[in-house]
Structure 1
Amino acid sequence: MPVHRPGPARRSRLSPAGVLLAVLSALALLLTLPTAAQADEIPPRGSARLGQGVIEHDGQGGLPTGGGAVQTEGVDVSSHQGNVAWSTLWNSGVKWAYVKATEGTYYKNPYFAQQYNGSYNVGMIRGAYHFATPDTASGAAQANYFVDNGGGWSRDGKTLPGALDIEWNPYGASCYGKSQSGMVSWIRDFLNTYKARTGRDAVIYTATSWWKQCTGNYSGFGASNPLWIARYDTSPGELPAGWGFHTMWQYTSSGPTVGDHNKFNGAYDRLQALANG
Structure 2
Amino acid sequence: MKSALTGAAVCLGLLLASITGSAQASTTSAPQPTAQARQHGIDKAGEAYMGWTQNTTTTSSTAAAPTDFGTAAVVEGIDVSSHQGNVDWAAQWNAGKRFAYVKATEGTSYKNPYFAQQYNGSYNVGMIRGAYHFALPNSSSGATQANYFATNGGGWSGDGKTLPGALDIEYNPYGATCYGLSQSAMVSWIRDFLNTYKSRTGRDAVIYTNYNWWSTCTGNSTAFNATNPLWVARYASTVGTLPGGWPFYTFWQWTSTPLDQNHFNGDMSRLTALANG
Give your verdict on TM over 0.5: yes
Class of the TM-score when normalised by the shorter of the 2 chains: 0.7 to 0.9
Partner of 1:16: none
TM superposition shift of 1:243: 0.6
Greater C-alpha radius of gyration: 1
The separation in 1 between residues aligned to 2:265 and 2:67, in whole angstroms, is 15
- The CA deviation at 1:64 is 0.7
CA distance in 2 between partners of 1:151 and 1:52 (Å): 21
- From 179, 185, 190, the counterpart of 2:188: 185
In structure 2, the residue matched to 1:17 is none
Structure 2 gap segments, 5+ residues each: 1-33
Structure 2 matches for 1:113-262, cutoff 5 A? 113-255=116-258, 259-262=259-262
Counterpart Cα distance in 2 of 1:205 and 1:145: 18
What residue number does 1:69 align with? Answer: 72
Mark the runs of 5 or more structure 1 residues left unpaired by the alignment. Answer: 1-35
How many Å separate the matches in 2 of 1:194 and 1:213? Answer: 24
Alignment partners' CA distance in 1, 2:126 and 2:116: 16
> In the TM superposition, what whole-angstrom CA distance separates every residue of 1:14-34 from its partner, at most 9, and x where no partner exists?
xxxxxxxxxxxxxxxxxxxxx
Shift of 1:63: 2.1
Q: Is the 8 A contact 2:164 2:275 kept in 1?
A: yes
Residue in structure 2 matched with residue 272 of structure 1 by the alignment: 272
Contact map agreement 1:74 1:263 (CA 8 A) in 2: yes
Contact 1:63–1:232 (8 Å) recurs in 2: no
Alignment partner, residue 13 of structure 1: none
Q: Aligned partners of 2:192, 2:66: CA distance in 1, in Å?
A: 35
Which 4+ residue blocks in structure 1 deviate beyond 3 angstroms?
A: 36-43, 65-68
Partner of 2:43 in structure 1? 43
**Secondary structure of the corresponding residue to residue 245 of structure 1:** coil
1:104 aligns with 2:104: no
Quick one: percent identity of the two aligned structures? 67
**Counterpart-to-counterpart distance in 2, 1:126 and 1:107:** 20
Equivalenced residue count is 238
Report how far residue 270 of structure 1 moved.
0.4
Task: Quote the Cα distance in structure 2 between the aligned partners of 1:176 and 1:199.
Answer: 28
In the TM superposition, residue 100 of structure 1 has moved relative to its aligned partner by 0.1
| Cα distance in 2 for residues equivalent to 1:244 and 1:37 | 36
Give the residue type in structure 2 aligned to 1:64: P
CA distance in structure 2 between the partners assigned to 1:40 and 1:190 by the alignment = 28
CA distance in structure 2 between the partners assigned to 1:262 and 1:204 by the alignment: 14
* Structural RMSD (CA): 2.1
Task: Give the residue type in structure 2 aligned to 1:54.
Answer: Q
State the Cα distance separating 1:37 from its structure 2 match.
Answer: 6.5
